[in-house]
Structure 1
Amino acid sequence: MISSTDTLIRAELISFARDPGNGDTPQPGSLEHYGDGLLWLKGQHIHAVGHFSEIAPSLPEGSHVLDYRDKLIMPGFIDTHVHYVQLDIMASYGRQLLDWLNDYTFPEECRFANHAHAEALSNAFLDEMLRAGTTSAQVFGSSHPGSVDAFFTACQKRQLRMLVGKVLMDRNGPEALMDGASGIADSERLIGDWHGNGRLGYSVTPRFAPTSTKTQMDAAGALLRNDSSLWLQTHLAENSGELDWVAELFPGSRDYLAVYEEAGLVGPRSTFAHGIHLTNGMRQRLADRGANVAFCPSSNLFLGSGLFDREAADQTGMAFTFASDIGAGTDLSGFATLKAAYQLGQLGGQPLTAWQGFYGLTLGNAKALSLDSYIGRLAPTLEADFIVIDTRATPLLSRRASHCTTLGERLFALMMLADDRAIYETWAGGQCQHRRDL
């Protein structure tokens, strides 16, 4: 039956049922592609997906169908590591990680003590995120609990599925950002107010080992032990200078990862941003605990941090995800993230296929965040988070598309040439949240 809350969209549909593998063509059964498909929404969820010719006969006569046959629909992109509070310092010139923090990040984040500022930036960030086709993300606030309240409130109004956390830091930063004894208590209050509230989830968020004492990290681990439905996000092994600093601060720990292991922060809902300078032993330990590393290619290039080794991750079974890492990242667009990932992969002899890239930004990232029962795929019962892509959005894209003879070529061209102009619409929770200006 069709009701007033149903939406019917006719378009080309692409989704993944599982990992397509590393080959030039996707593994059998991994790709779901309908050249002339129908996406049927009931409220916030997907009711049916399939070939238009097979579903259309079951529709009542005169049913209104949005005709997007010249467009491509995919699940919404998912960003596993991003700092909304750093939106305004994107494209700040010329620093590596530790200088970047001191010169740009810390002064900027001090501004989020002002709740009105946090509200304004929350909405500005979400506008840009949706414009880029990202429907879900795992997000760092600042160390001010109000920055997280503001962001959760903005997400709630838009009915977005988001993971967010207040930064924990009680040393090695400006006094205005130190949370001391209140950090854990503030986190507990935020968890009580927001975790599991609608489509929202809480990520416990120590910034990284150098800015949290062992006492604070142990307390963060206790939060995770008390509630296994929480997430954890932090940074790991991004920069060689950072590794040296951690070794000085934690001389009793065998390596950087062990600092987090000893605090109980490494588990199946843990995301460690970057993971560039890891040994295979560390990768294996992450794999054994089900944690994932957020691969942030544009940020790694911008800060000169190094080359993430996807092949080593695969060989050890360590899960990795794709992320923008704004503000050191240079673009919120998932297309830009995949483009940078391909370019970095080429330098290491590990080129990224379009199949791997788009699977990673959708179902792959959802699986790593334990969200695949809600998002990441165009499938019945899942939440209706998806993007409508104009594959001819620019003259150059249109020209390139006219020379593509296979689906793989078309997707690769999108990965390399598309930007936010290719996002015609972004839908989240069954509602169109962004429509490109025509």
Structure 2
Amino acid sequence: MTAAVRVALPGARPAQPAPSRPPPLALYVHVPWCVRKCPYCDFNSHALRGELPEAAYVDALLVDLERALPEIWGRPVETVFVGGGTPSLLSPEVVDRLLAGVRTLLPLRPYAEITLEANPGTFELGRFRAFREAGVTRLSLGIQSFDDRYLEALGRIHAGREAHAAAEAALALFDQVNLDLMYALPGQDGAALARDLAAALAHGPQHLSCYHLTLEPNTAFAAAPPALPDDDTAAAMQEQVEATLAEAGYGHYETSAYARAGQACRHNLNYWLFGDYLGIGAGAHSKLSFPDRVVRRARPRHPKDYLAWAGGGLPAEERVLDADDLRFEFMMNALRLNGGFQEGLFGERTGLAPGTLAAGLAEADRRGLVERDGPTIRPSPLGRRFLNDLLQLFLA
């Protein structure tokens, strides 16, 4: 098969590197409100003041989606992820209307994975059951810890008993459940982490996401840092998480993600393998591939601005990715996967020749940061530990 030739017509945008065929497409829906902003959180989330404008917000989401249709027309959607913020603040009736609109406007795969993020502080059994009836197939619970001491230190709105109740109900209702945990918390030691891991495993979730607490800029914790475990203790905790979950039968497939066989998050895998995604909602980001370019876009960040924008006019931001962007962003995503990627996928998803990776891979080989197994390229154990150092080798 010969490579496609791209011709720039007079007055047209010069052709940029682009995949020869569209990659898989996912939909991300952002719900920007929380009951309270957690002190460690740097996501686009806003403490709810007054009544949740859920009906107006879903109106805006569906207008946003409808206006985006010409750019993704006919492309099947593999997964939907409703994230936040706290999407479980939305009433089941509004979630049902949102997902009905998605099914009407998009060619959603028959067995699409549809994830909703939920906070145990908003848990009600009837609410979870109604989310399932609306079409949610996978629930992701922001547990963070089962210990009241650490939940209070993290500013969470739920207690340990609510975390247990939410996990138990979710696993009774949904075929796929993820539990989010955090470690290296203020005052936490290895014994306390062991108790949290044991509590999570006792529920038997299909998926666990385990995050090292980090102090992100522009957060309350960055302004007034709590006392955290030192670097050596935190590294030992990471090893403790990996060993405990491996022994329990969970595969460590991505930097912070662990799953039983066949239960990896398909939506997140699409990100790591440089698939396309349409993002709708306040501050949502998109990455879309066209025959002559790959584009990143973002919606207005603040909920009031997004509601005013309501899908009209141009996106708040747009950037066409050049060859340097594509090389780095592909590797930044794919090298999060412990199993790595097939070398041919790089050219398929970016439109670039595999040789553009040669210099970075040669240096990564020299430093022992990657492993090669035929066409498979993956981070070595050392590369996983020093992932930022590995990724810097692929910057322009």
What is the TM-score of this pair, normalised by structure 2? 0.42
Give the TM-score taking structure 1 as reference length: 0.39
